Amino acid sequence: MPSIAAVFATMNRSATALACVRALAAQTRPPELVVVADNVSTDDTVAELGRLKGLPFRLIVQRMDENRGNAGGVQEAMDLAFAEGVDAVWILDDDSWPRPEALEALIKEPWDARVVRHSLQIDPKTGKFTWPLQIINHDEHLHLVYSVADFSLISSPRSQTSWTGALVSREIRQKVGAVNGALFIRGEDEEYPYRIRSCGYRFMPVILSILDHPGPSEIVRWKFFGKHLFFEPGLADWKLYYKIRNMVWLKKKQSGAFNAFAMGMAYLVATAKIDGLHRVPLVLEAALDGWNARLGKWRRHV
């Protein structure tokens, strides 16, 4: 069986990070290693994690030199985990808490390092998926799946993408490379799976591997050039900035300037219509930065 490291990034959320580590300790098949990237927390996160005793795995709390967001934190945690010699890394969020059988179910089938097997994220409030899952059926058409029950309508499902809950093997990591930490947040979950697909690897959901992960209170969905886009009303400025900047940058990288421009316009219209015209300057700044590949931490992000 492969040796596994679970990794996640956190910042100033000691209770949340502790709950995630304890959920990992309660696994019927615990990982061999857990790496927590701490984005320079100013609360008691590092101290509380350091007080944990009797864990069934080695815990490394990687204190970051600066706040690099989720993308930079996961990049650094994955780098460290693979340097420690594990066969695969299980990517989590600090508030995606695996149920006891989650990891055991994820690696129960014969191990295939060429497939990204991944957990399913369920919102405890609704019992539905935290985010709609994009599934490729045997007819090669893309379907949106909203709950585990929907899988009964689909034979031999493959998923289009996965980030939180994805089990990435050493082979895939060596081929695809490291996570792009310059995306900071809200972009790594699209860009890294895109690179995995581009290298010829595929994703497979594991129905019995469940993460309890709270979802947004509201999602507005629309289709853009055949791609499903999701908009969260009322996002904080910094979250909206990174979302739009990174998506425009990625679309330009994937399919050229015209599609990137069209995506920026789609977000502009959606934001103005749903959140109001007062957010248009922020959208324009984010789209322009994405167009010009100005990545890293937003200059207005404190």
Both 243 and 208 in a single domain?
A: no
- 140 and 52 in one domain? yes
**Cα–Cα distance, 99 to 128 (Å, whole number):** 15
Terminal CA-to-CA distance of the chain, rounded, Å? 44
86 shares a domain with 145: yes
- 131-182 per-position pLDDT tens digit: 888 888 776 777 888 898 887 666 567 898 999 999 999 999 999 999 999 9
In this structure, is residue 301 part of a structural domain? no
212, 232, 249 — which closes off a domain?
Answer: 212
Which range of residues forms the domain containing residue 259?
220-291
Residues 256 and 275 in one domain: yes
Whether the per-residue pLDDT at 290 is higher than 70: the answer is yes
- Looking at per-residue pLDDT, the higher value among 146 and 26 belongs to 26
Q: In the chain, pLDDT over 90 holds for what percent of residues?
A: 79
Residue listed under structure tokens 């993460």: 211
Summary mean pLDDT of the chain: 93
Question: What is the rounded CA–CA span in Å between residue 21 and residue 190?
Answer: 25
* Dihedral class, residue 54 (left if φ above 0, else alpha if ψ from -120 to 50, else beta): left
Domain-ending residue, one of 157, 192, 212 = 212
Tell me, what's the pLDDT at 221?
74
Q: Determine the pLDDT at residue 153.
A: 60
Please tell me the predicted confidence (pLDDT) of residue 152.
67
Which residue matches tokens 């502790």? 18
Nearest partner of 136 among 116, 117, 154, judged by Cα: 154
Which three-class secondary structure string do you get for the chain?
CCCEEEEEEECCCHHHHHHHHHHHHCCCCCCCEEEEEECCCCCCHHHHHHCCCCCCCEEEEEECCCCCHHHHHHHHHHHHHHHCCCCEEEECCCCCEECCCHHHHHCCCCCCCCEEEEEEEECCCCCCECCCEEEECCCCCEEEECCHHHHHHCCCCEECCCCCCEEEEHHHHHHHCCCCHHHCCCCHHHHHHHHHHHCCCEEEEEEEEEEECCCCCCCEEEEECCEEEEECCCCCHHHHHHHHHHHHHHHHHHHCHHHHHHHHHHHHHHHHHHCCHHHHHHHHHHHHHHHCCCCCCCCCCC
CA 23 from chain center: how many Å? Answer: 18
- Domains held by the chain: number: 2
Residue 103, in any domain of the structure: yes
Residue 85: count of CB within 10 angstroms of its CB: 11
Domain final residue, candidates 181, 212, 243: 212
Residue 299 maps to a domain: no
Q: pLDDT tens, 86-106? A: 999 999 999 999 999 999 999
Q: What is the pLDDT of residues 181-209, one digit of tens each?
A: 999 999 999 999 999 999 999 999 999 99
Average pLDDT over residues 110-115: 90
Nearest 10 degrees: CA dihedral of 254, 197, 180, 173?
-150
> Tokens 């994937």 map to which residue?
254
What's the whole-number mean pLDDT along residues 10-25?
98
Q: Supply 106's token pair.
A: 């994820």
**pLDDT computed for residue 229 by the predictor:** 73
Q: Which of 26-40, 43-57, 139-153, 184-198 is predicted least confidently?
A: 139-153
Same domain, residue pair 259 and 200: no
**Does residue 28 have a pLDDT over 80?**
yes
Residues of the chain with pLDDT > 70: what percent? 96
Domain harbouring 23, CATH code: 3.90.550.10
Average pLDDT over residues 40-67: 96
pLDDT, tens only, 209-258 = 999 999 887 777 776 666 667 788 999 999 999 999 999 999 999 999 99
Q: Give the mean pLDDT of 117-121.
A: 96
118 within 8 A of 159, measured Cβ to Cβ: yes
pTM of the model: 0.94
Residue 175's Cβ-count burial label (10 Å; 0-12, 13-18, 19+) is middle
CA–CA dist 254, 248 (Å, integer): 10
